[in-house]
Amino acid sequence: MTSISSLRARRKEKTSPADATPALQAAPVAGHWWRRLLALALLVALLWSTWVYRQIHAVAHRDDAQPADAIAVFGAAEYDGRPSPVLHARLDKAVSLYNRQIAPVIVTLGGGGDKDSGKTEGGVGRDYLLAQGVPYGHIIAETNSVDTEQQVSKLAAIAREHHFDHVVVVSDGTHLFRIAELCRRDGLQVYTSPRARLGNIDDYDAAKRTLHEILSYTSLRLGLHASWLHRWLEGKSD
């Protein structure tokens, strides 16, 4: 007969801590795998953001303006028919290029919203150029686009219609890397030319503008077109 002590020994063997070890270790191993995956994703995001930042910075600090068929000014906010400081600076840069005979035509881009009382960025830009002595026949005003992608699309259509082979694009320095990429996608040959800086930009504002462009360019490359993301990223500049 099996002794009572032998039965107890067998029960202890069945429930020994050694047998429970794999089950207890399963959860920590799974958690460790997820932490590795998260760390890898963060590393990829950091490397990507660093690369995009360097591209934005390089284009922002380089003026490639050279003889072309037209100069295109990307829209910014207007205030009751007057260009905002940002749009003013972009238009002044276009006038400077025009006076240097970089190109014989200036294209102003940008539509208006419900709060603009019929005014458009392209129309306000045209009026400003006229006041600066640019002849009416040397200005093409595009007044229907609502964001950067649409402005590039409209510019590409204008270039095809008027047989512009090369265009100098004028905007904020941080904006130009994305503009150039969009233009290449639409078959436009462009040279970038940043507007002059306006006063002293604090570190927070500079970081916000750069982050805006990193997210916008990433959205472009990923093909994201969510309406809320689109509206947030394409907020008008002051």
- 52 is a domain residue: no
The one-letter amino acid at 178: R
CA distance 103 to 139: 11
Residue 160's CATH number: 3.40.50.620
- 3 is a domain residue: no
pLDDT (tens digit per residue) in 158-167? 999 999 999 9
pLDDT (tens digit per residue) in 17-32? 555 455 545 556 666 7
pLDDT (tens digit per residue) in 56-85? 999 999 999 999 999 999 999 999 889 999
Token pair 């002059």 is found at 196
Asked if residue 237 has pLDDT above 50, the reply is no
CA distance 121 to 12: 83
Tell me the residue range of the domain where 123 lies.
60-233
- 76 is a domain residue: yes
- 29 is a domain residue: no
- 51 is a domain residue: no
CA distance 234 to 224: 13
- 136 is a domain residue: yes
- 39 is a domain residue: no
- 149 is a domain residue: yes
Tally of domains within the chain: 1
